[in-house]
A and B are shown apart, each in its own frame.
Chain A
Amino acid sequence: MFVLLALHLLIGVGIVASGDRLGRRAFAVAALAPLATVVWAITQADAVLDGRPVVVEVTWVEQLGLGLDLRLDAFGLAMVALVSGIGFLVCVYAVGYFSHPKQGTARLAGLMTLFAGAMLGVVMADHLLALFVAWELTSVTSYLLIGNDDRSPRARAAALQAILITGTGGLVMLVGIIAVGHTAGTYRISELLADPPSGGVISGGLVCILIGAFTKSAQAPFGSWLPGAMVAPTPISAYLHSATMVKAGVYLVARLSPIFATTGNWRLLVLVVGATTMIIGGLRALRQYDLKLLLAYGTVSQLGFLMLLFGTGQYQIAQAGVALLLAHGAFKAALFMVVGMVDHEVGTRDIRELHGFGSAWSPTLVVGVLGAASMAGLPPLFGFIAKEKALDGYVEHGDFIGSGAIVIVIVIGSILTFAYSARFVLGLFGVFGTDDADPRSRAAHAPSVLFLAPAAVLTVSTVAAGLAPVLVDRLVRASTLALQPGVTPSPVELWAGFNTALVLSLIVISTGLVLTAYRVPLGRLQRRASDAISWIPSAEQGFLACLRGMTDGSKRVTALVQNGSLPIYLAVIVTVAAVAPLIPAVSVFPSLPKLIDAPIQIPLGILVVVAALGAAVVRRRIAAALMLGAVGYGMAGLFIVQGAPDLALTQLVIETLATVLFVLVLRFLPTKWADRSPAIARPIRIGVSTLAGVSVFVMALVSSAARDDVAAPNISEEMIARSAPDAKGNNVVNVILVDFRGLDTLGEITVLLVAAVGAVALARTGRRRLIPGRREQGHARPDQGAGS
């Protein structure tokens, strides 16, 4: 299995790397990967359908439980049939679709192959984290595919919306997976199935996982990205956004429902969301004029339906889900392909601009009609069988609260499905064509055989599975068993006898016909109703509002925090540095020690304090420099009193040197500071400085009082003791500087060297008169949230 995934990666990267050299032939190359997968799957099919899954165990980061275990069971096989089977057909179709390749067309093929590989990973993963890895890869490739026509702002916006919504879901899901995996002690789906965990954390984690599944499968209220994603070329929409990727959420729900349907609110959540999505999607589909959008909303509706089928945890209903999954994949991909052909040959997908086609189009129209009929659930097609099974499952086996309501939802949803399927067919035949539009569709060139063939293959399979359900019976039954081992799924039949489901089907069809017949007044009614509720924000608006709120909020926070003013930064930093360590220190503040050892300390102390205050207050630069020098001399005096002549000497030298340098340099600067800061700044500065002083004072007292708690002597004592005998030096300070701690001295010398290099560099720049920046980048850009 890993070889297959690697093959996808290899082919995909290869095509992307080749740039535009391959043109539309890239799709022919891309077709190899799904073809190989299909062939491989056929060789494994027998064993897998007999309940012997193919298992590959791969560890990645074992310590973290990150595994990449793969497992292909019958349900996985059904998904592989969708992913690779339809994938192959879409590749063939794309060769016809991109008859005039543009820049970037080949890249689509490469990205699609990468996507196919990721999607295979999703359906083959037996490890929740491996599933997550593949899941996110499908999001990323989908982003790149939607936005591939990168010059179009609409494409970029749609891509962004898709990745943000599915990405949010993915992250929430990751948290959920971790929560479940941690509590259960395993991330393996097969192990979870064998020993279902429960508990509060699990329930919370499951909600998170469901949110991930809902976003991916475009469930309400996260579905707004899917219609937007239709800006992608039709082969991409047919593949990602109807047949495969959007099924990932459904797939996950299908996998986990047998384990968790009765845990927490899983079933309730899935049913409510699924029901809402099914109805809203159907209603929206009925209002579309763009055939592709009609199908897109139809897909949303059907995904809701699938949720209803898989989310119950009842195998009889899930069995219908498997059938519908396959049926939907076949008819929806074929319908998208038909729309793509119309778009390609006529140049429009708007049903108001279609006025029927020439006779050469008959095969295409047959494909379209049969596909729509399967979607509507008409016998004897696969779609009918799946819907019958669904209704039957709910009516006969839905023994949980609310199952009756769900039956009604399914019936209403199916009526809507019938109605929009009819709209699709009528639109295709030009019933909606308006007189003012150019009736060019009548003269349009019919699609070539190669272009039509993939859709035809899908249609044949839809009809065949409908007429001879035995073809899919084994797969559907084995898939159900794979989802929930030990159950006894019923056979898949076209004629299941006179039962409630059949009656409901008849109701659906007849009501659907009525809706179609009265479509004009009903359309008006629907428009009026939707106008009436237009004040309710749509999911799309909700998303945009969130996005705007987030960016605006970020800008506001940043403008506040990152205001570009050095004095404010300093004030905050100094305050934090002064206050934070002070908090624990205050409670152990010792009684004041004897502050004065010798009388001479009093004048020296006063000198230091006054000079320091003076340096802060005076406006003349020279005066401030001299005051600073006075502080230094005062300190040197204190050192002498304390018995540290070396230190005092050093201090005196440094102060003298510094003051002289200051005076020399200050000649080049204005003599006074211009204080342009607002009046409020002064008390704040005084406050912060006082705070810093107090804080250091308190901490110094606390620290020196704490010296008694530590028994060991200062290391300086040993240094003094070893200075003369071991280091052969009588002056311990010198020994420390050049021997004991010579490395420090080396470091400090280096610092001096670097400072010299820097001074030279800056001085040179100064001589050249600061090169005016190419553009000011650091400050004062309101759009960057920095205004000095």
Chain B
Amino acid sequence: MSQLVPLPIVLPLLGAALSVVFGRWHGFQRLVGVVCLSTSLVISIVLLVAADDTGFVVAQGGGWPAPIGISLVVDRLSAIMLVVSAIMLLAVLVYAIGQGEVERVHAGFHPTYLVLAAGVAASLLTGDLFNLFVSFEMMLAASYVLITMGGRAAQVRSGMTYVVISLVASTFFIIVLALIYSATGTINLADLSERIPELSGEVQLMFAIALLVVFGIKAGLFPLFFWLPDSYPTAPAPVTAIFAGLLTKVGVYAIIRTQTLMFPIDARPATLILVVAALTMTVGVFGAIAQDDVKRILSFHIVSQIGYMIFALGLFTVAGVAAAVFYTFNNIILKTNLLLVAGLVERRGGSSRLSEVGGMVRTAPLLGLLFALPALSLAGLPPFGGFVAKFAVFDAGAWSEQWVLVGVAAFVSLLTMYSMTKIWAGAFWGEREEEPSGRPEPGGRLGGPVLMVGSTAAVVLVGLAVMIWAAPLYAFTERAAVDLLDPSRYVEAVLGERP
């Protein structure tokens, strides 16, 4: 089984290489992309089953025993994230092929997208802090390219913001990495989990906060999120969708992983995390309310919902961490979904500004449905998956008697509902108030090209599946949370039995 572990990284990289070499044959590129990502998905599912069976599947890079080599570790958290991101990567690729804009114009799209896929998988799988840095770099380098690929002036300008801030974050990451190595003499996560508790409490806290800041920039925590709503909305639609769905959540994953695995319970900055969570939730949703553009509204919601995940994590209870994991993977699905719909709305209406589109419930009713289901879920309305996720967060907060935060989360959830109704009323009800800046494209009965609508619908169905199988999924995240809160099992799986 452990031979399979590197494949979700290696396969897309191989695909990327083929895609570069045969860049002139567009059909071949598409085939390679779809085949690679489908195979990755299958492998991820196999790994998920295996990880849930045994707890951990570990592969040691180059066969060198940890901590000399690089460990790749599949536990329940990384497995569920891997599967969900594989589904999203595949769906968005199909959507991009259906859209045929950036994907058709640039021969570089496919290889870059596959490197992004590899980077995401590597970030989720790695059990090594330096390799995590490298994985992030792969992911980020690909994202720098993708975000500017449309080549429009606005894209290049906002891409600039994104690139500069990401580079600063990377610099800070490498500094912290060096500091941690200088203090402990290792960079293997499992090894760090054993060595860090030997440090004094202050130094532990210093590292915990430093890593929180590093990944907080990536995840979009307050007050580090500014780059996100400015840069995501301008990218090509499929790129925005996959960024919104995955990249910030990989940051959240890194926060969950490092905080639980590397630091003992009393060295985790729990109170800081909770305060940051509350601010992230509220400031993010305020930002969303102030917008008039579907993609910008949704981008601000990314930030706001990161707050929920961090809130649940900051409780550091089984219920809390389970809720964080559940919320995270569910949010990946919803966010990707909504931005895919936003892309369809933009295509059909010629604009993503609410004042320039309207009445789509009549002209493109299917898009209305594809938007309504994830939007209700995102707003946490029952009985959708988003409600279960939100309820799990509230419930965890109640167990820890964090009533203030539960209240804040409820307030934010109300504002989220408000801004969803705003999109609904603006894009699907009423008439357009201004002429669209772009050219509306007729969508036929479906509201768009078959592949675009089909892949969006597939993601909607995945979201509904979360609702239907909420119980087994929650049970799974609970098991994941138990593992996360007891790092000794991870350590043992990676380093082997210790005397």
Contact = CB atoms under 8 A, between A and B. Distances in A.
Interface of A: 19, 59-66, 103-104, 129, 132-133, 136-137, 140, 143, 147, 150-151, 153, 156, 159-160, 163-164, 167-168, 171-172, 174-175, 178-179, 182, 550-551, 553-555, 557-559, 561-562, 564, 566, 569-570, 572-574, 576-577, 580-585, 587-588, 696, 699-700, 702-704, 706-707, 709-716, 718-719, 722, 739-744, 746-748, 750-751, 753-755, 757-758, 760-762, 764-765, 768, 770-779, 783-786
Nearest to B152: A773
Question: Nearest 8 pairs between A and B by C-beta?
Answer: A758-B145, A150-B429, A765-B151, A714-B185, A133-B382, A747-B134, A581-B210, A554-B286
A770 B388 contact: no
Contact of A550 (B67, B415, B425): B415
Contact of B392 (A64, A129, A167): A64
Nearest to B471: A61
A707 B183 contact: yes
Contacts of B415: 550
B224 A179 contact: no
Contacts of A761: 106, 108, 145, 148-149, 151
A784 B290 contact: yes
A160 B398 CA distance: 30
A616 to B, nearest CB: 15
15 contacts: A64-B395, A137-B382, A150-B425, A172-B410, A182-B398, A554-B289, A580-B213, A584-B205, A707-B183, A709-B200, A744-B131, A748-B137, A753-B111, A757-B108, A772-B152
B413 interface: yes
Contacts of B398: 178-179, 182
Contact of B134 (A66, A104, A748, A765): A748
A428 B283 CA distance: 53
B95 interface: no
A205 B249 CA distance: 33
Interface string B151-165: 111111110110011
A713 B185 contact: yes
Interface residues of B, number: 133
B118 A156 contact: no
Given A711-B198, A744-B130, 8 more contacts: A62-B471, A554-B289, A558-B287, A562-B229, A566-B161, A696-B175, A757-B20, A758-B108
Contacts of A580: 209-210, 212-213
A569 B392 CA distance: 34
Contacts of A750: 13, 16, 115, 118, 138, 141
Contacts of A764: 151
B122 interface: yes
Interface in B371-406: 376, 381-383, 387-388, 391-392, 394-395, 398-399, 403, 406
Nearest to A147: B429
Contacts of B202: 584-585, 587-588, 702
Contacts of B411: 171
Contacts of B203: 584-585, 588, 702-703, 706, 709
A104 B361 CA distance: 10
B104 interface: no
Contacts of A573: 165, 168-169, 217, 223-224, 226
Contacts of A572: 223-224, 226
B39 interface: no
| Overall SS of chain A's interface | helix
B359 A777 contact: no
Contact of B394 (A178, A558, A753, A776): A178
Given A147-B425, A761-B108, A709 B157 contact: no
A784 B287 CA distance: 9
Interface string B308-349: 000000000000000000000000000000000000000000
Contact of B365 (A19, A574, A587): A19
B266 to A, nearest CB: 13
Contact of A704 (B16, B183, B227, B474): B183
A175 B185 contact: no
Contact of B144 (A577, A748, A758): A758
A771 B151 contact: yes
Contacts of A156: 425, 429-430
A66 to B, nearest CB: 7
B234 A747 contact: no
Contacts of A776: 153-154
Interface string B37-78: 000000000000000000000000110100111100000000
Nearest to B12: A750
B172 to A, nearest CB: 5
B301 interface: no
B475 interface: yes
Given A178-B394, A577-B172, A762-B148, A710 B115 contact: no
Contacts of B287: 554, 557-558, 561-562, 785
Contact of A576 (B64, B213, B361, B387): B213
Nearest to B160: A566
Contacts of A150: 359, 361-362, 425, 428-430
A668 to B, nearest CB: 16
Given A750-B16, A758-B144, A581 B207 contact: yes
B376 A63 contact: no
B138 A712 contact: no
Given A167-B417, A706-B200, A744 B152 contact: no
Interface centre among A163, A551, A784 (most CB of B within 10 A): A784
Contacts of A564: 230
Nearest to A157: B425
Interface in B213-228: 213-214, 217, 223-224, 226-227
Contacts of A785: 287, 290-291
A26 B417 CA distance: 30
A160 B362 contact: no
Given A64-B392, A554-B289, A751 B141 contact: yes
